[in-house]
Structures are given as C-alpha cells and as structure tokens.
Amino acid sequence: MGKKKTVKRVLIIDSDAEKSLRLSHQLEFIDYEPKVLSSHELANSLNDLGEYNAIFVTNFHGIVDWAQKLSEKDENCPPLILMLGNQPADMSQKEIEDNFVACMKNELKYAELSDAIHRAEVRGTAATQPVKESSNNPELFRSLVGNSRAIIRVRKMIDQVAPTEATVLILGESGTGKEVVARNIHYYSNRRKKPFVPINCGAIPSELLESELFGHEKGSFTGAVGTRQGRFELAEGGTIFLDEIGDMPLNMQVKLLRVIQERSFERVGSNKSVKSDVRIVAATHRDLEKLIEDGTFREDLYYRLNVFPVEMPPLKTRAEDLPLLVNELITRLEHEKKSSVKLTPAAMMALCNYDWPGNVRELANLMERMTILHPYGVVDVSDLPSKVVPHVGIQDPNEEDGELMDAMPILMSGMPAKELNNTPRLPRDGINLKQHLTEIEISLIEQALDECAGVVAHAANRLKIRRTTLVEKMRKYGIQRPEEVS
C-alpha cells in the first residue's frame, strides 16, 4: 500500500527543463511539492508512486502503452495528466480520456492547472477510498451543517427534544430542511428502530386524506376494493411526520385533534377504535396564528401541536454556513459516484451574496447542476446562473450589427459581489479581451434561451436586443437554434 499523503506531492515528467521549472513554480504557489524527472523511463524505477497526488507527463511516442503498463505495475499509481500542445495523430480522444484525467496545453493558465489538479484529486480519492454505505438515515443532518448561531441553536433543540415524547412543530420557509429536522428527531429518539412515516398534507386531495392517514375498510367507498392500513398504523411505535399541516382541511383537523387527545382512531368505514402509539412531528411554512385569525386553522389543534416549536432559519440569514454546506453537498455527490466540482473564492463569494429564495433545496439543486455542467472541474463566477451573480449591464441601443458589446453585461470574474461597482482587475498575465467577452456573451445567450424554454423571441427580450440580432449571434457562435414554442 502507498504512504499516507500528508504532503501534497506531484511528479513532473518532462525533458524540457525550462517548462518543468515553470510548472514547478506554479504548483508550489498553490501549495504542492513537485518532483521533476527528465524521462518517463526514470518513473519505472520509483518504488512507490502512491505518495504522489498526480503525475504530469509530456507527450511522447508510445505514451498510451506506457501509461497502461504503469497503472498495471503499481496499483497505487496516481492519476496521469497529459501535457501537450496539439493532440497527436497517433492518439485518439478515447485513448486520452481512458488514460488521463486531464489534457493540458503547453501554455498553462491557473484555471486550467487548478482544474486538472482537482480532477486528479477527486479521481485519486475515489480510487483509494471505498464509497461509504448508506446509514439508517442517509439524510441525517443534511442542511443542518454550519457554525452560525441559528443552526447551532437548531441542533441543540433537536438534542434536547429528541429523547422525549413531546409533539414538535417545525416552522420555516420551504426548502430550509424541515423534514431533515424531523428525521433527526426520530433518529435520536427512543423510537429510532421503528418506522418514520412522512405524509404531505397539502399534496393529497381532501377527500382522500382521511383514508391516507387512518386507512379504510373494504367497500367503505367507491374504489375501496380491499382493506388498507393508513399512515398512523404504518408508523405504529415510531414517528409520523405531518408536513404542510397548515394546508390540512378543517374537517380533518378535528379528527387529528381527537387522535392526539385519545391516542386512537377509526378506519374509514369502521366503528372499531384502533390504539395508536406514535409520536407526531408536524411542519409548515405558513403562519398558523394568521390562519387561526382567518378561521382556517383550529386554535386548539395549534396548541396541541405547538408543544415544542423549532424554527428553521432561511439560508439568506446564515451566509457564513454556505462554504460548509457547499462542501457537504459536493461530498454527498462524490459519495453517490455522480461527480464533483470545485468553486473558486469568487464563485463562493457570489453564492454568499445571493438571497436563496429556495433555501438549501435551491443550493442543492445548483450544486448538482454544476457537477453535470462542469464534471470534476472548477466553477468560477461566470459559470453560475445569471440570477445568482450580480452584474452591471452595458448597452448601446443603436448597435444592431452583432458587435460584442451589444447589450452585454460584463461579469467581473474574480471579484466579490459587493465590489462590483469598482473597476475590475486585469489579470497579471493579461487577458484576450475579445475572447473573454465572446465567452461571456455566449454564456448569457445560452442562459437566456434556457430560461425562456428555447423561445428565441423571449430570449431576445431578456437580452434587450432584437430577435434578428440574436439569431445572427446564434449563427455566428454556432449555438444550436431550439425549436420555438408556438
């Protein structure tokens, strides 16, 4: 087995001493310890390649065979990163993808180098560490990650109430993780070995909700072809989670109140009482006190449920938890063998400045989307959706000839969102301005088309340009024209 990688080391195999030295300096700058070999043959004499996180190797004749033999010889062989100017004629794209985690050009850029290193680290971790099996509750503490005062308080309240039999009412906006709290309460209670049964009271038609909760007897109503257990019976000895309790009809609120008071219920079409030993955890994003004033929620039921209230904070109030949450979500995606990404500091700052109306659910969806669009890559500000990233628009209404600056917001990559009114910084090694603006324009056009379901006319309105101008730009950049919705 290889040595434990306490230091991040990389191996560089290149006969070009000047290029190797330049790459070494770049790697040292990002806290890697490089070792340089002038020939690939010297790598065969190394005892243990497992101490390296990655191997950078320049292209040479027969490199594919060498890479395959190296992997067969040493089971701890780290991922290989190919360095070349142009793809050689004797090497197919499939051979490159099968044997190398990344393929880099001679003129290295920081983003390209960081992307390659991240791909190698993720691939190496996946190869050396088995995927953890799911625990009894794979959702455990998802969205409860963080060090903010609000989330620490929520975790403390869970710890206090879980061992008791108290009824819990979880309040908070949609997507904040109310069901996660309910699952944690069940997991840390004395009922953890019994079922946890969730039901969304707002998603089931009112005429079917009673049967869903309490079950029914055969022939009790049209379509009742057999006897069926309800959620309360399925949760016997465990916990029932009544999500969106604020949407429960008034007639069902009366029956639920009776179950809470008497610990028994009757199936639809039966007059026989069934004893119920379940713990009730309810949740809602609605203001129940306001519903009581409006006469749509029973006050006596509210006080029965509100024994121990837990309020989930919206994500926008705990921006300091964003880095930990993002890391947790990416780790989960890695463990599920889906993909991974790495965020630049500027991208993370942009996320911290966004309001997150969809809360943790929206963040989780965004992270999964980024791993699909940029698998094992590095996500910068320009890669984030336009609604997440603040921008400054530059528009010339008289321009209709397809110039780059036509209605084109300039995203200032690498700058915190709160500094967007300041002058953007020019990278130390300069920038190809025309190419940079082109890439931004293509990205914004694609986002506009995506947000407008492929309707070119609507996308043009979003970009504040004429439809004909947008069609010309799409043709110019080779953006496939979607079918317009009539």
Domain coordinates in residue numbering, the chain? 9-128, 149-313, 319-380, 390-486
The whole-angstrom separation of Cα 223 and Cα 202 is 22
pLDDT average, residue stretch 347-359: 91
The whole-angstrom separation of Cα 262 and Cα 443 is 61
pLDDT average, residue stretch 312-321: 91
Does the structure show a pLDDT above 80 at 3?
no
Residue 168: φ, ψ to 5°: -115, 140
Answer yes or no: same fold for 9-128 and 390-486: no
Confidence of residue 140 (pLDDT cuts 50, 70, 90): very low
Q: Name the range with the highest mean pLDDT among 69-73, 171-175, 464-468.
A: 171-175
Reported as a single tens digit per residue, the pLDDT across 236-263 is 999 999 999 999 999 899 999 989 988 9
Sign of CA dihedral 187, 191, 195, 201: negative
Mean of per-residue pLDDT scores for the chain: 78
The residue type at 140: L
Reported as a single tens digit per residue, the pLDDT across 103-119 is 876 656 666 777 777 77
Confidence (pLDDT) at 474: 85
pLDDT average, residue stretch 168-193: 92
Specify the fold of 9-128: Rossmann fold (3.40.50)
The whole-angstrom separation of Cα 358 and Cα 175 is 6
β-pairing, 377-379 vs 341-343, is: parallel
pLDDT average, residue stretch 325-351: 85
DSSP state of 384: S
Confidence of residue 85 (pLDDT cuts 50, 70, 90): low
Does the structure show a pLDDT above 60 at 177?
yes
- Contact status, residue 222 vs residue 268, Cβ threshold 8 Å: no
Confidence (pLDDT) at 138: 39
Confidence of residue 417 (pLDDT cuts 50, 70, 90): very low
Instruction: Please give the residue that has the higher pLDDT: either 362 or 223.
Output: 362
pTM of the predicted protein model: 0.57
The whole-angstrom separation of Cα 460 and Cα 481 is 13
β-pairing, 264-266 vs 239-243, is: unpaired
Reported as a single tens digit per residue, the pLDDT across 36-74 is 888 877 777 776 777 888 888 888 778 888 888 887 777
Element holding 309 (H helix, E strand) = strand 308-311
Of 469, 136, 146, which Cα lies nearest the Cα of 315?
Answer: 146
Distances (CA, A) of 15 to 38, 100, 409: 4, 19, 44
Confidence (pLDDT) at 131: 36
Pick one of 3.40.50.1470, 1.10.287.3510, 3.40.50.300, 3.40.50.970 as the CATH number of 149-313: 3.40.50.300
pLDDT average, residue stretch 122-126: 57
Confidence (pLDDT) at 190: 92
pLDDT average, residue stretch 301-330: 91
Confidence (pLDDT) at 289: 93
> Looking at domain 319-380, does it have CATH number 1.10.8.60?
yes
CATH architecture of residue range(s) 390-486: Orthogonal Bundle (1.10)
Geometric angle at alpha carbon 287, from 286 and 292, rounded to 5°: 115
Confidence (pLDDT) at 54: 86
